[in-house]
Structure 1
Amino acid sequence: MLNQDFANNGFMHLDRLLSFDEVVGLRKVYDTLLEDKKLTAGLRSDLSGNNTKSQAVEKITQIMLPSRIEPRLLQQQVYLKALRWAQNLLGDDMALDFDMLINKAPLTNTETPWHQDAAYWIDLPDKRSVSCWIALDDVYEENGCMWFAPRCDTNLLKHTHSKEGGALTIDVSPKNGRPIPLKAGGCTFHDGFTLHYSKGNSTNGPRRALILNYRPHKMIALEREQGMDHTGKRQFRK
């Protein structure tokens, strides 16, 4: 049934991917990376578009390739568990393309607008992909849980920057989107053409998420041949 949800709609969720102990272990590594701007320099940005030195608080911190900074992350069970699900959903040739952290700081109340992840990626002949979005805190509407709109096709919509240096957005908001609240350790899976969104964090607590993206081995090799390793200045397809 879950596999059918993904096939029909482009997304699904699991109430429990990780145990509480696994979540606690990930939080420790996560918080170390969040606090150390020197260690994460060059792989870190604020998806709200507020990337100036005068900005005291990062509203939506994105850290690309955290496992490159902290290789011990790759030893965590979450990477193996998510890979098994990715292969179950899309085939045995699925492999980890990249990982990232996205944190919404308390009381920043900054939304991530509706978008498709494929707008950030180069065009590939095999378009299979799946992102596993793992909640490391309980997530709900008020602190920025994921919203999804069922995917009808694999067309890429026109995207623009809502703010220079910030996240991409489309011009309209889907009317059939719905929130997916989760307990810490739960996760969602979505493909690159599925529209998704999250509200800002208006609560006193953090909203920490680990995202693991999977695609076929051959497409990862093709990306690397074309210089795409998910670092550097953010590019997008128009």
Structure 2
Amino acid sequence: MITRSLKVVPKPVFTAFLRQYTVSPEQKKFYADNGYLSIKELIEATSLDKYKQRFVQICKGLVDRGNITIVKEPPLVAAGVKGEDAVNKLQDILFDDVFSQYFEDPRLLHVVSQLIPGDTKKIEDVNLMGMHTMFINKPPGTTPHPPHQDLYYFPFRPAHKIVAAWTAVDHVTQENGCLYVVPGSHKLEKIYAHANSKDEGKALYHGVLEEESVAPMDKRVHFVMSPGDTIFFHPLLVHGSGPNVTKTHRKSISCHYANGECYYIDVSDSAQAQIAEEIVAAVSKKFGFSDITVQEIFKYRSKQVKGTKSNL
């Protein structure tokens, strides 16, 4: 179910495990107005179990993780927490043989193709790129993820041809740090000023500066989810997540998709300049690059997941 402080609560949508899922005109309007759409049970349990097992294998070093980045929770590491219990997330998992089954799941791609179809009139002709991917673990003791906009991180446009898919792998509650969004916050078509997170040591965790006015508590919609439930949301939608105050993990998997009609832009003189510099610095440090751009980084980490044509 979805809990929210506003008056109107959208009915949850359930789907059988078919290769396609048709988004209704009402759902498309809800997405356009609010910036998100929730679909119940889109991904089946057997797939979720595979992704969870793969996460454990990578954390234990049982399989080659390639260029996957293991991101740990600094306060937990400082407290001496080890192994999986210290891992916040895996990043850049798009090329992994197991995780890629999620990003290329026909049901997921069918929904995404309808939400960001681009200029084509046929769903089967939509070209899609997987641009940014994560398996999120959120162990006990994880601090909040501040309200932010994903487009703030992305050097490509246009925004309406980009969408995030976020699937619960475990049960998600407010106690273990569920997602929240600010409905309609995408409609101003602007990127708010962001700054570094207040949590020391959490690199690249930027949040909107004017949190009280941009993401007030009474405007936040919190998502209580069962495994397989999936949220799709606009890259300008302000969203975040709470702390995990339980004794269990809160696992999820996500991907940002871009229509192949998208293109890279220069962000050097924009509100995105600082985060672009931080992304370049982090990647350069990890891989030893001496001269690389943020656009090249996203090109390097992306993959065509549907169709054959792309500007990215």
Identify whether the pair has TM-score above 0.5, normalized to the shorter chain: yes
Aligned to 2:132: 98
- Contact 1:83/1:96 (CA < 8 Å) preserved in 2? no
- Contact 2:148/2:239 (CA < 8 Å) preserved in 1? yes
Q: Does 1:228 align with 2:297?
A: yes
The 2-side partners of 1:109 and 1:51 are apart by: 8
Residue 10 of structure 1, CA deviation: 0.9
The 2-side partners of 1:109 and 1:54 are apart by: 12
Aligned to 2:120: none
CA change 1:158–1:32 in 2 (3 A) is same
- Contact 2:156/2:265 (CA < 8 Å) preserved in 1? no
Larger radius of gyration: 2
The 2-side partners of 1:46 and 1:37 are apart by: 17
Per-residue CA deviation, residues 56-81 of structure 1 (Å, 9 max, x unaligned), is 3575623222132x223323586322
Residue 31 of structure 1, CA deviation: 2.2
RMSD of aligned alpha carbons: 3.1
CA change 1:148–1:154 in 2 (3 A) is same
Residue 221 of structure 1, CA deviation: 7.6
Aligned to 2:231: 188
| Structure 1 letter corresponding to 2:295 | Q
- Contact 1:131/1:213 (CA < 8 Å) preserved in 2? yes
- Mark the runs of 5 or more structure 1 residues left unpaired by the alignment: 233-238
- Mark the runs of 5 or more structure 2 residues left unpaired by the alignment: 1-25, 118-125, 267-292, 302-312
> Sequence identity, in percent?
17
The 2-side partners of 1:109 and 1:144 are apart by: 8
| Structure 2 letter corresponding to 1:168 | H
Per-residue CA deviation, residues 116-174 of structure 1 (Å, 9 max, x unaligned), is 01111115356521010110000010101110001232200001111451411012141
Aligned partner of residue 212 in structure 1, secondary structure: strand
Residue 202 of structure 1, CA deviation: 1.1
Aligned equivalent of 1:18, options 40, 43, 52: 43
CA change 1:47–1:116 in 2 (3 A) is farther
Aligned partner of residue 72 in structure 1, secondary structure: coil
TM-score by length of 2: 0.64
Of residues 12-21 and 142-151 in structure 1, the stretch that sits farther from structure 2 once superposed is 12-21
Aligned partner of residue 23 in structure 1, secondary structure: helix
Q: Does 1:118 align with 2:142?
A: no
Aligned to 2:259: 216
Q: Does 1:32 align with 2:57?
A: yes
The 2-side partners of 1:114 and 1:225 are apart by: 23
Residue 44 of structure 1, CA deviation: 2.4
CA change 1:157–1:22 in 2 (3 A) is same
Q: Which has the higher contact order (CA 8 A, sep 6+)?
A: 1
CA change 1:56–1:88 in 2 (3 A) is same
Residue 47 of structure 1, CA deviation: 7.2
Aligned partner of residue 25 in structure 1, secondary structure: helix
| Structure 1 letter corresponding to 2:129 | A
The 2-side partners of 1:168 and 1:5 are apart by: 28
How many pairs does the alignment contain?
A: 230
CA change 1:221–1:84 in 2 (3 A) is farther
The 2-side partners of 1:104 and 1:184 are apart by: 15
Aligned equivalent of 2:244, options 192, 197, 201: 201
The 2-side partners of 1:207 and 1:16 are apart by: 17
TM-score by length of 1: 0.82
The 2-side partners of 1:10 and 1:104 are apart by: 24
Per-residue CA deviation, residues 97-133 of structure 1 (Å, 9 max, x unaligned), is 2321121012x14101100011111153565210101
Q: Does 1:167 align with 2:205?
A: yes
Q: Which runs of 4+ in 1 moved over 3 A?
A: 34-43, 45-60, 75-78, 220-226
- Contact 1:116/1:193 (CA < 8 Å) preserved in 2? yes
